[in-house]
Structure 1
Amino acid sequence: MSNRLLESIEPKEVFRYFEDLTRIPRCSGKEENVVAYLISFAEQHGFDWWKDEKLNIVIKKPATKGYESRPTIILQAHTDMVCEKDKETVHDFDTDPIKIEIEEDRIIAKETTLGADDGIGVALALALLADKDAKHPNVELICTSDEERGLVGAEHFDMATMEGDVLINLDANEEGKFVVGCAGGPVVRIEIPLERTTIVPNGMTALNISIRGLTGGHSGEDIHRGRVNSNKLMVRTLVSLNHELNYMLGDISGGIHYNAIPRETEAVIFVNAQEKQKVIETVLSYRTTYKNEYRVTEPDMEITVQECLDGSDNLLSDLSKKRLLDFLYLCYSGIVRMDAEIAGAVESSVNLGTIHLEKETAVIQMMTRSSLESAYREMYNQIAYLAECVGGTVHIMSDCPEWEYNPSSEVKKVFHKVYQEMFGKAPEFFILHAGLECGVFAKKTNRPMDMIAAGPTSKNLHMPGEHLSISSVQNFWRFFKEVVKHI
């Protein structure tokens, strides 16, 4: 692979593997090429490996001399990435490498996601296995597939094939802050039946309303930052318009992934041609209101309304319009409750991730999260009840278990001691308001697993502009090599 941008940056091996991964298409569910890359890596270094039918792959490296009697360490990262881009960006995630740039201390993809989640975790693990000078006990590396769509690979992985009782997940994204527990919850698919009509009154004009330029972000880790959900903002607009005048709804679509805060939503409405200008002025007045409300968190918000061409056979009946808007308006999206014990931590939240209208069905995807199983079950029950009220049905797409905090964790003590000695300050430990595969692994094994999640700093996950801190990778790499020597 030529024309390498990162080849002179230390640690060279880590960034070499990371840059390789940016050049390998690996959207969720399409990990064949990255798995082939990992197999080639294992065979090149003479490591034992195997993969299962879900494209999870395990690579094993024996302990270095003098560390044979220490506990086996399981390293774990996931091979897939969230593939999201700006709407106007021309990029084929099935074939095109990620376009990366260096800005001061950051490696960034400006128009797409970068894939640092979790490409940097995979790169760090490969660099450790390839490092002939690194000291460590027996290492088992699990690279799981399809994590971003609901921990699918981990759910199908056979933990009985692993020997280690200590697991280091490399999917955390803030250097010096280590995860010791995480939220769980189901991903819910809602289907609301639609009736279409081809009987459109004469003199109707189609208008496209577009909300773009929002910040978006990770639906768990960024849910507390006050960012606007474009789907909810569009529904607010449509319901407000409904109070002003009569219109027919042709379409509404927004969001790309249920686990990302949606940044863009569009709707097509049909209005009397004589009221077209009034509608435009009304929507623009809403824009002024929204931009004032969210002037801090959404400085780049764009809301446009303009005439468009649309077929007259694509309109919802009045009843279907009401049922759909009732559900979307009344369903909650955002923080449900803060943690009562941990200051500043989110306990429970919901994300209205995607809306898509098919010919006869509105398909909506929502993600629930909580560190309490009882809380996310209640959120699911509320979604299901509301869907039933509008004639819809619900289906659990995936169900991520929570990872319960273990206050007696020995690996946590090791991480604390080594970090304190290396950097002269204590690290932070916290419960993540997002799903990690640790919860699945804990559920799938009949023996105690001592687990922790760690990684260098990366920001803007699941959205264009995702970036990775170079200095943080450098700090974490030194720490990572040192900590595995002390487990």
Structure 2
Amino acid sequence: MTSVVEGLKPEIIWKHFETLTKIPRPSKHEGKILAYIKKFANERHFEIREDETGNIVVLRPGSGGGENAPIIIIQSHVDMVCEKNRDSQHDFMNDALKLYIDNGWLKADGTTLGADNGIGVAAAMALLDLPESTPLPPLECLFTVDEETGLTGAFALNGEIVKGRTMLNLDTEDWGEICIGCAGGGDSSINLPVVYVEAPTDYLSFQLSVEGLKGGHSGVDIHEERGNAIVFISSIIDDILENAKISLTSLEGGDKHNAIPREAFSQLYIHPESVSDAQNSVANRARALRDEFGTMEPNIDIKFTGSNELPNKCLSDNSQMELVRLLRTLPHGVLKYSHEVEGLVETSNNLASVKKINDDINIVCSTRSSISEALESQRRRIRIISEAFGAIAEQEEAYPGWAPNINSPVLEITTKVYTELLAKDPHICAIHAGLECGVIGEKVKGMDMVSFGPTIKGPHSPDERVEISSVDKFWDLLLKILNELSKK
């Protein structure tokens, strides 16, 4: 069977990436990919260091004249966000991804692709696979775990397993950008106690659904003001409550804390005399949402249909009112842009998920900011809002941002090589997303870092895709930077 990536350049990266797509690697379930990397390193007789969390470092000695150069850390994370379309039967714990090429982009059929950060992992493995004559400094290829659910691997990193103090992070997703800073962030897990009562026997059962939204990364895509399915569905239910007699039995939407919700669903009972009013409310709100988001969300699909499901419990009138109003009050989207860097989102919040856990309704918000005080201010705001509706917001310690250093030696080298290679300057930037650089920089003092990578669109959604041509340019840049660093 012909490989989908056959003939793509650089062959060495695509070969490794295709292998990665056959190995299940959901966040918190990285055992298979870690075992593969260790086997790969052992077969090449490379030293391996490992910490208790599962982070591993594979050491490649300097070569081609770079034997005595300073150690360079090549950093990537092995886990991937596992999102799929509702009609997909894909099993992320066992199945290989199904790849295809669409107009110069590599995609996966109905699921996330895992190019975030699989391309970075593949590039690190490709470096380890290069001939011994290749001009390279000593490399510490650092593979971290569980980045996507809160930078867990980076937080728990034992800094003793890395000796280098210059790091190339391969997790930036816009070719041509050299990232030198990122936002910090922290999640809020909001638990709303609710009361369930016997469902009315004379009401009719309906399902309300919001589907077809783009979703995307709650950091790098938040400025596009894409639709949020939880925001949409709660606004529709709020309107129904104003005009009809209903009893809410369930409301769920979203999944990952760092993904903008694409879908949301609600099961509800409606008094027979209120059905027409409820249908009008849904139609009016759907029309308004299409008018507001139509060009951004052309595939928005809002359905309100009769249901054969007949749950025997529903929320009390007070509980359903508290839930809907809490969802309507919690912030979502860009909260502030930077005054210093034009176009850079400074502070945002993602209303990420809502679901039933035991007897409570759990809501997750993911807040980001490049200003630590602003981050904590917004997290306190979320606590205050939650308490006003009788909920409790649990918040773990936020992860740190990465402060830009425009005088960074590795930035100077990277910029020089990029300009010589492409005859134009790179875009030096900071991003509104959590990179492991911020946490690793706190763990290992004195670390000099930059981040770059190929173009990846739609990360954390089934629309994820990587631009094939940018991978070749990214690889060329990486090799030339390391060639330059091997001369030090």
TM-score under structure 1 normalisation? Answer: 0.97
Alignment partners' CA distance in 2, 1:131 and 1:33: 24
Alignment partners' CA distance in 1, 2:303 and 2:396: 34
Alignment partners' CA distance in 1, 2:115 and 2:89: 21
Aligned partner of 1:243 in structure 2 is 242
Is 1:450–2:456 an aligned residue pair? no
Aligned partner of 1:166 in structure 2 is 166
Alignment partners' CA distance in 1, 2:203 and 2:14: 57
Deviations 1:344-379 (A, max 9, x none): 110000000010023410111110000000011011
Taking the TM superposition and a 5 Å limit, the aligned residue runs for 1:169-318 are 169-198=169-198, 200-318=199-317
Structure 1 residue 239: Cα displacement: 1.1
Aligned partner of 2:118 in structure 1 is 119
Question: Secondary structure of 2:224's match?
Answer: coil
Aligned partner of 2:68 in structure 1 is 69
Alignment partners' CA distance in 2, 1:480 and 1:486: 10
Range 304-313 or range 425-434, more displaced: 304-313
Structure 1 residue 465: Cα displacement: 1.9
Please report the RMSD computed on the Cα atoms of aligned residues, expressed in angstroms: 1.3
Task: Letter of the 2:316 partner, please give it.
Answer: S
Taking the TM superposition and a 5 Å limit, the aligned residue runs for 1:5-16 are 5-16=4-15
Aligned partner of 1:459 in structure 2 is 457
Alignment partners' CA distance in 1, 2:424 and 2:77: 30
Range 473-482 or range 399-408, more displaced: 399-408
Count of residues paired in the alignment? 484
Is 1:425–2:424 an aligned residue pair? yes
Contact kept in structure 1, 2:195 and 2:319, CA below 8 Å: yes
Alignment partners' CA distance in 2, 1:329 and 1:146: 31
Task: Letter of the 1:287 partner, please give it.
Answer: A
Question: Secondary structure of 1:71's match?
Answer: coil
Task: Letter of the 2:193 partner, please give it.
Answer: P
Contact kept in structure 2, 1:194 and 1:359, CA below 8 Å: no
Question: Secondary structure of 2:341's match?
Answer: coil
Contact kept in structure 2, 1:356 and 1:364, CA below 8 Å: yes
Contact kept in structure 1, 2:24 and 2:93, CA below 8 Å: yes
Alignment partners' CA distance in 2, 1:131 and 1:372: 41
Contact kept in structure 1, 2:97 and 2:109, CA below 8 Å: no
Taking the TM superposition and a 5 Å limit, the aligned residue runs for 1:36-115 are 36-115=35-114
Aligned partner of 2:436 in structure 1 is 437
Alignment partners' CA distance in 2, 1:346 and 1:330: 21
TM-score under structure 2 normalisation? Answer: 0.97
Task: Letter of the 2:378 partner, please give it.
Answer: M
Range 82-91 or range 245-254, more displaced: 245-254
Structure 1 residue 443: Cα displacement: 1.1
Question: Secondary structure of 2:95's match?
Answer: coil
Contact kept in structure 2, 1:214 and 1:230, CA below 8 Å: yes
Task: Letter of the 1:152 partner, please give it.
Answer: T
Contact kept in structure 1, 2:48 and 2:59, CA below 8 Å: yes
Aligned partner of 2:359 in structure 1 is 360
Deviations 1:221-240 (A, max 9, x none): 00011201110111111111
Aligned partner of 1:130 in structure 2 is 129
Alignment partners' CA distance in 1, 2:37 and 2:381: 43
Alignment partners' CA distance in 1, 2:298 and 2:397: 34
Contact kept in structure 2, 1:251 and 1:314, CA below 8 Å: no
Alignment partners' CA distance in 2, 1:269 and 1:460: 32
Contact kept in structure 1, 2:244 and 2:277, CA below 8 Å: no
Aligned partner of 1:153 in structure 2 is 153
| % identity of equivalent residues | 34
Contact kept in structure 1, 2:205 and 2:310, CA below 8 Å: no
| Structure 2 residues without counterparts, runs of 5 or longer | none
| Structure 1 residues without counterparts, runs of 5 or longer | none
- The ranges of structure 1 where at least 4 consecutive aligned residues each deviate by more than 4 angstroms after the TM superposition are none
Deviations 1:196-247 (A, max 9, x none): 001x444201111000000110000000112011101111111111221221
Question: Secondary structure of 1:217's match?
Answer: coil
Task: Letter of the 1:191 partner, please give it.
Answer: N
Contact kept in structure 1, 2:245 and 2:274, CA below 8 Å: no
